[in-house]
Amino acid sequence: MDTNSNSYTFIFSTIMVIVVAASLAFVATQLQPKQAENVKQENWQNILKSIDVQVSRAEAEEAYNKHIVEELVIRGGEVVDDVKAFDVVIADEVKKPVNERNNPLYIGEKDGNTFYIIPLRGGGLWGPIWGYIALEKDVATVYGANFDHKSETPGLGAEINQASFYGQFKDKQILKENGDFTSVSVVKGSASGPHQVDGISGGTITSEGVSDMLKNCLAGYVDYLKARSSKHQESLPVEEIEADELLEDEEEDTENTSSADKEDELEMVEA
């Protein structure tokens, strides 16, 4: 065959394309399990990071099994058994109506305390943003949070993955005093009160994306968590209940004593 002919060039190019494509497909297939494992380990790390457990990727599985005692999926305020937490694709679920979503929930324990860890997914200026937020046993108080992004602007929106930003969420409240859901808002300017944190200077759209992400994602958990918290209060040990009743009796006695003292005072004044 004439190596200078057009037909030779065409055949040679076709063979090379097929060989290269087959090689790339083979390598990609071989790497898939490793890539999936890396993603899982990174998720373990981020879940643990929300409750301030810092571990390397190599240590993540052991630490996860130690601190995460339960994996649930919540739908419509109830636990469902037909899907596993790690099988849920959050990016797909957040597009559904709140009551139809499969919401993964991780129950963590550290130093004798229980935490509810919730995965988050939303949109920033240039692409998706995500993270985890951990709530304390009262289901209202934020214990910790962490966020990340795909392509936000360095030095601006990309700062959501810095402790200077996500560290502000600690001790903030997602419920009002009357128990109504309100989330935590990222505001431009000076934040005030238990439901706000400061936004990122120059990263207004990304900051708003974090606010929207929190409100949208947390909405699917509130009913279940409030019910679980109520059940916990109802099942307090007898010793704690008796202690509470004793405290109430003492307060009542104090109020009665104060009233009697005031009456005596008035009688002395009138006399």
pLDDT digits (tens, 9 = 90+) for 1-13: 566 777 778 888 8
Q: What does the pLDDT average to over 243-263?
A: 44
Residues near 255 by Cβ (< 8 Å), separated by ≥ 6? none
Alpha-carbon span 30 to 123, nearest angstrom: 32
Q: What does the pLDDT average to over 141-160?
A: 96
The model's pTM is 0.76
| Per-residue model confidence (pLDDT) at position 31 | 66
| Per-residue model confidence (pLDDT) at position 155 | 94
Burial class (CB in 10 A: 0-12, 13-18, 19+), 10: exposed
Summarize the chain as % helix, strand, coil (round to 5): 50, 20, 30
pLDDT digits (tens, 9 = 90+) for 64-73: 999 999 999 9
Alpha-carbon span 177 to 12, nearest angstrom: 74
| 3 state DSSP class of 135 | strand
Amino acid at 102: N
Q: What does the pLDDT average to over 33-42?
A: 78
Average pLDDT, the chain: 85
Alpha-carbon span 179 to 174, nearest angstrom: 9
| DSSP states along 43-85 | HHHHHHHTTT----TTTHHHHHHHHEEEEEEEETTEE-SSS-G
Helix runs in 135-203, H state only:
163-166
| Per-residue model confidence (pLDDT) at position 73 | 97
Band of pLDDT at residue 116, cut at 50, 70 and 90: very high
Q: How far is CA 69 from the centre of its chain?
A: 16
| Per-residue model confidence (pLDDT) at position 267 | 41
Alpha-carbon span 46 to 57, nearest angstrom: 10
| Per-residue model confidence (pLDDT) at position 36 | 72
